[in-house]
Amino acid sequence: MRLHKPSSLFIVLGLLLCSAFAHADTAAKQPHIVILATGGTIAGSGADSTTTVGYTAATVGVQRLIDAVPELKKVAQVSGEQVMQIASENMNNAAWLELAKRVNVLLKRADVDGIVITHGTDTLEETAYFLDLVVKSSKPVVLVGAMRPSTAISADGPINLYNAVLLAATPEANGKGVLVVLNDQINAARDVSKTNTATLDTFKSSELGLLGYIQGNRAYFYRSSTRKHTRDTEFDIANLSVLPQVDIVYGYANMNRIALDAFVNAGAKGIIHAGTGDGSLATPLKTALTEARKKGILIVRASRVGQGIVARNGEADDDQLDFVVADTLNAQKARILLMLALTRTADTKEIQRMFYTY
Ligand code: SIN
């Protein structure tokens, strides 16, 4: 007995040390994913567990989000940064520039393998597309949100965050451009949109199609976007502190030019017209847009419909009016591309090329 006791103790200690070394070794081999938290419903809290509307967005900090999903440790070594704490309707150009610069700095580091950005769902598609055009790396950048606050029964935030980290840690996600993951579905930043005010399956790429799924702790890809992104774009925000003012005018029956004139008077450098149908122009708007173009303001014809190509020289003589068409981009994404395009050129032919490239 006397001989046994110390030897069992050594065996137990040895086993503990081996398991500690094995754990440290696994952690060292795991991809390092940085979670940049910006707020939104994924970080929201409600009055009680059945509150799924009327809650407060952006209250829970990044470390609590991470701690709530211990399973993250299975797929990556995770660290978090609170870059802002906002409801995403308050996202703006200055915050995009700050976020994109931070992403570019982090992705240059050899010890960072990917980024996950937690974000409110309302403008998530816009931030994703902005980053898709200005991130200078092929390492994965994944945006994730949630439709239910963290305090709700069956909150979707934890599983969405787990899926986002898993996706960012997946080698196949390299070079795919900025990705959006919610509801087990992987979408490309360019094509995805929020399509329902409340349901968990709100993010859709609709006719252009999602890229893949997350299932059984694996990401499955079936397609990728043909449009240029990230390292292959001509946009560089490294030295930018402001973006040109571009506003959106929405088309509807009984259309007038009041909003457009206000934007022009406020100094807009570009206007996106989210027209009816194939980007049609009501007569008062056509006159006002023509006048605006003559003052040097860039005009892009988009559509309020949500699907399909706006045909160049279709519903308007774009060559003669010197307008640009948005291709399949919705108005809010066309605004982003036009802002970035205007940092490079004011030439409409060049800007039209960009709309067919990105
Ligand atoms: C927000 O966009 O910040 C609020 C809504 C959401 O995250 O679902």
Q: What is the pLDDT of residues 294-345, one digit of tens each?
A: 999 999 999 999 999 999 999 999 999 999 999 999 999 999 999 999 999 9
CA 331 – ligand 1 centroid, Å:
19
Given this model, what pLDDT does residue 1 score?
Answer: 41
246-357 carries CATH number 3.30.70.20:
no
β-pairing, 185-188 with 212-215? antiparallel
Ligand 1 pocket test target in 42, 56, 88, 125 with most atoms within 8 Å of CB: 88
Phi, then psi, of 331 in degrees rounded to 5: -60, -40
Q: CA 189 to CA 127: how far, in whole Å?
A: 9
Residue type, 152: A
In CATH, which superfamily holds the domain spanning 30-232?
Answer: L-asparaginase, N-terminal domain (3.40.50.1170)
Q: Compute, in angstroms, the gap from residue 176 CA to the centroid of ligand 1.
A: 25
pLDDT at position 3 is 43
Q: Give residue 18's pLDDT.
A: 46
List Cα–Cα distances, 337 to 77, 216, 354, in angstroms.
34, 36, 8
User: What is the model's pLDDT at position 11?
Assistant: 53
User: Same fold for the domain at 30-232 and the one at 246-357?
Assistant: yes
Q: What does the pLDDT average to over 181-204?
A: 98
Distance from Cα 242 to the centre of ligand 1, integer Å: 25
Task: Give the mutation target among 38, 41, 65, 119 for probing the ligand 1 site: most ligand atoms within 8 A of CB.
Answer: 41
CA of 146, closest atom in ligand 1: 8
Dihedral pair phi/psi, residue 180, rounded to 5° = -125, 130
Question: What's the CA-to-centroid distance between 121 and ligand 1, angstroms?
Answer: 4
185-188 and 179-182 strand pairing: antiparallel
Give percent above pLDDT 70 in the chain: 92
Q: Which atom of ligand 1 is nearest to the CA of 122?
A: 2
Residue 39 CA: nearest ligand 1 atom is 3
Task: Output the pTM of the full model.
Answer: 0.93
For residue 84, is pLDDT > 80? Answer: yes
Whose CA is closest to atom 8 on ligand 1? 121
Q: Any residues with Cβ below 6 Å from ligand 1, and which?
A: 40-41, 57, 87-89, 120-122, 145, 147
**Over pLDDT 90: what percentage of the chain?**
92
Separation CA 203–CA 183 (nearest Å)? 8
Task: Kindly provide the b/e burial profile for residues 185-206, where b requires at least 16 CB atoms within 10 angstroms of the residue's own CB.
Answer: bbbbbbbbbbeeeeeeebbbbe
Angle, in degrees to the nearest 10, between helices 331-342 and 124-134: 30
**What's residue 29's pLDDT?**
87
Asked if 41 is an active-site residue, the reply is yes
Closest CA relative to residue 40, chosen from 54, 23, 57: 57
**What's the rounded Cα separation, in Å, for the pair 239 and 237?**
6
Tens-digit pLDDT profile for residues 257-273 = 999 999 999 999 999 99
pLDDT at 27 over 90: no
| Of 50-54, 156-160, 195-199, 208-212, the least confident | 50-54
Tokens of 199: 């349901």
Domain borders along the chain are 30-232, 246-357
Instruction: Read off the pLDDT of residues 216-274 as tens digits, 9 standing for 90 and up.
Output: 999 999 999 999 999 999 999 999 999 999 999 999 999 999 999 999 999 999 999 99
